[in-house]
Structures are given as C-alpha cells and as structure tokens.
Structure 1
C-alpha cells in the first residue's frame, strides 16, 4: 500500500479522535501536559492496535463485526455523550467537569473512536497486505491529531463562551459522532 494511501486512511481514521479531543479540551478548564499525554497516547494506541486486531481476526469474525461494530461504537458514544449532556444540563455551581482523560470514560472514548480502524485491519488482511507499518502510521497520526484537537478545544473553551456550555457541547458532539457512525453503516 503506497504511503500516500496509508496517510489518507490514517487522517480519515483520526477525524473522530480529533473531534472528541476538541470536545474534551473545551470541557476541561485547564489542559495540562498530563491530560494531553493521556488522551493522545490512548487514542493513538487504540487506533494502532485496532487494525492489528482486525488484521489477525481476518475472515473469522469479519461478517459479525462489520454488522455490529457500528452499533458498539454508537452505544458507547450514546452513553458517554448522553451522560455529558445530562451533567451539563443539570450542573450545580460547585460541580466541575469530569476529566475525560481518566478512568473508564477514557477507555470507552478510546474504543469508540477506534472501532472503524478495526475494519481497516480486516481490509488489509483480505488484500494480503502487511499491517505493521500502516498500524504505526495510523497510531502516530491519531496521537498528533488528538493532541492538536485537545489544545484547539482548550483555546475555544477559554477564548470563547463555549467553556460555559462545555459538557453540553461535548455531549452533543459525541452524540453526533455516534449518529454519524450509525448512519454511515446503515
């Protein structure tokens, strides 16, 4: 697979991670190096590992996962986005935004934004292509896009009035991404 095609796939796969990172940056009042590392590392790692899993899974579970993978991503994003939307609309003055770069929320976001990379791994296996270089490039591109998105979101949250509505906005973005995944699959 030519490098240009690998980069195009990597950038396309990184778009969901980029959008979630922007929403996370808006939700956080302060984005530290630790936040950046955790979110970018996890998103990059999951984006790199999912095509490898898909590649090894090959034909065995291809039909099952292609039929239900979009539902899994949709359910995860629906749950997280709905929870963020609920929290944003029912927020106390003392209540602060939950950090999306820790705990189960981080893992669920990582899985939800990298489900489509699994299909790329399946495709590469069917074409008889190696997975190692594409997976590394996909992971690095996702890591970079996530870090950039997190800081862009921080800027938007600090410099605009978006910070006041961060959880509502973030929840809405996640719900929209989930619906987009479902719409494309149906």
Structure 2
C-alpha cells in the first residue's frame, strides 16, 4: 500500500510539473476574458491531450524497455533532464510569444503544444514500468485543473506568474531526471 501511495504522490508531482505549461499559457490566454463555458471546454481538451500523449509515450517506452533494457532507462532519465532544462530555458527567454487564439485549429494547436512534453515523460514512465491507468488519470485530471486555474486566474491577474510557473515545472522534471539517473550511479 505504501508503494502505491508513493507512486501516486510522485505521479501527481510530475503531473503538476507538466501542467505548468498549460497553467502559464492559460494565464495569458485568460486575458481574452473568455466565457466560463469556453474555459471549461479548453480545460477538458487539454486534459484529453494530457491523457493521449503520455499514453502514446508509455506504449513506446514499454516497447523500448523490452528491446533495450538498461539503455532505455538511461535514455528516460536523460529525456527528463533535457525536458526540464528546456522548460527552464524557455521560461527565461524574454521574447514575446505569438498568441494562439483559443478556437478551432488554434485551440487544437494550443492543446498539442502544451502536452507534447507529456509524451516524453510518458516514454520515461513506460520504460520504468509505471502503472498506465494511474499515470493517464493523474496527468489528465491535473492538467485539466491547472488549465482551468490558469485561465480563471488570467482573467483576474496580468501574466506576472506565468514565467515562474514554467521554470518551476522544469526544475521539478530536471530533479526527477537526476534522481532516475542517480539510481544507476549509486
């Protein structure tokens, strides 16, 4: 039982780290003064993408771990480190980002862009044999809630928190990657 609670806690922290992208972009998108129905739809779509992408990653990761064993585990740890570093780096860049409108194709593009990193994490979790259903439920629910929180908060606040939340998410993923690699070194 303790093992399941530990795994659930780890997955929730990872899900929160991955959802920081959706939260921070949601802050900016919340400036559109979207209707609550649209905020609801956006959150659900982001949650669905945060289920599909890690599921695809997990399936690919399980295939890799069966074929390549320890090498695949190393790759998984390195992917988390690279993904975390990339999130931190992109949060530090001061360039203006192009705004994607939250309708039609723009909304699908937005959902895909904020969930791409969950594919890499899913790949790593697949390599390590994480429980698939638990992963996708955690990732989907947390991403949905964080998207809603970002959009709603964006209606109230002007984007001062966005950059810092993405950097925090990157730092968490970086730490998990280092921890996974640390198991090989002692």
TM over 0.5: yes
Cα RMSD after superposing both structures: 3.4
Retained in 2: the 8 A contact 1:25–1:152? yes
Deviation at 1:38, TM superposition (A): 1.8
1:34 maps onto 2:37 in alignment = yes
1:57 maps onto 2:60 in alignment = yes
Deviation at 1:48, TM superposition (A): 1.5
Counterparts of 1:1-186 in structure 2, within 5 Å, are 2-26=7-31, 28=32, 30-58=33-61, 59=64, 82-84=97-99, 100-156=101-157, 162=158
Deviation at 1:21, TM superposition (A): 0.5
Q: TM-score, normalised by structure 1?
A: 0.63
SS in structure 1 at match of 2:102:
coil
Retained in 1: the 8 A contact 2:8–2:134? no
Structure 2: tracts of 5 or more residues without a match: 88-95, 175-186
In the aligned structure 2, how far is the partner of 1:147 from the partner of 1:154? 11
Retained in 2: the 8 A contact 1:38–1:101? no
Retained in 1: the 8 A contact 2:51–2:136? yes
Residue correspondences, number: 142
Structure 1: tracts of 5 or more residues without a match: 75-80, 85-97, 157-161, 163-168
Change (3 A) 1:82 1:12: closer
Q: TM-score, normalised by structure 2?
A: 0.63
Deviating runs (4+, > 2 A) in structure 1? 81-84
Deviation at 1:133, TM superposition (A): 1.1
